[in-house]
Amino acid sequence: MASLKQIEANRRNAKRSTGPRSAFGKSRARANSVRHGLLSKVLADPGLVAEKQELATRIAREHGKPDDVVEARTIADAELTILTARAIRARLLDSSLSSQTTGGSECSSPDSNQADPSRSAPGNFDLALAYLRLGPTLATLDRYEQRAISRRQRAARHLFSDK
């Protein structure tokens, strides 16, 4: 049970964190989950909706369940989220690497090849730079992917258990 002091502190904090108040802020916050589609529950692409339903039906049938099982749909949705996050990560890294190779290298003096060990493996060095530049974005994608993996595992446990 919370004390009166804790309840009052909670009420004071709640007054400060009420979310967006302006119409612009509310509309922006409303669109957060569909900005990149990873957390969106509404799939805008009809092809993805059909693919999700087909995958869910196939999963359910392979495990002797009815076609319309909630867990099978959750597994299919999570699998598509995982694949989307991985595709976005690959595109980000590819675009970062291609912009580095077309933009040139900062240390392109001929003498620096012997002094700089990274010059011996330019592919690895470029990839490391891409990861460093994209660190926060890649961390966010990783969180989405991990949540989807957890959702898929949880739904699979429920689907595959003998109840």
Structural domain boundaries of the chain? 37-103+119-163
Separation in Å, CA 124 to CA 97, 117, 137: 11, 11, 20
Q: Read off φ and ψ for residue 44, nearest 5 degrees.
A: -80, -25
Q: What is the mean pLDDT of the chain?
A: 77
CB half-sphere exposure, 150, CA atoms < 13 A: 6
CB neighbour list of residue 36: distance below 8 Å, 6 or more residues apart = 88
Q: What is the largest CA-CA distance in the chain?
A: 71
User: How far, in Å, CA of 33 to CA of 25, rounded?
Assistant: 14
Q: Is 146 within 8 Å of 82 (Cβ atoms)?
A: no
Q: How many residues are present in the chain?
A: 163
Residue 25 pLDDT greater than 60, yes or no: yes
For the ranges 7-11, 22-26, 34-38, 120-124, the maximum mean pLDDT occurs at: 7-11
Q: What is the pLDDT of residue 8?
A: 93
Q: What is the pLDDT of residue 114?
A: 45
Percent of the chain with pLDDT over 70: 73
H helices of the chain, in order, are 4-16, 23-30, 46-62, 70-103, 112-115, 122-133, 135-160
The pLDDT confidence band at residue 152, using thresholds 50, 70 and 90, is very high
Render pLDDT for 59-99 as a digit per residue (tens, 0 to 9): 888 888 887 688 898 999 899 889 888 988 888 888 877 77
Residue 106 pLDDT greater than 70, yes or no: no
Mean pLDDT, rounded, for 21-29: 82
Q: Is 76 within 8 Å of 125 (Cβ atoms)?
A: no
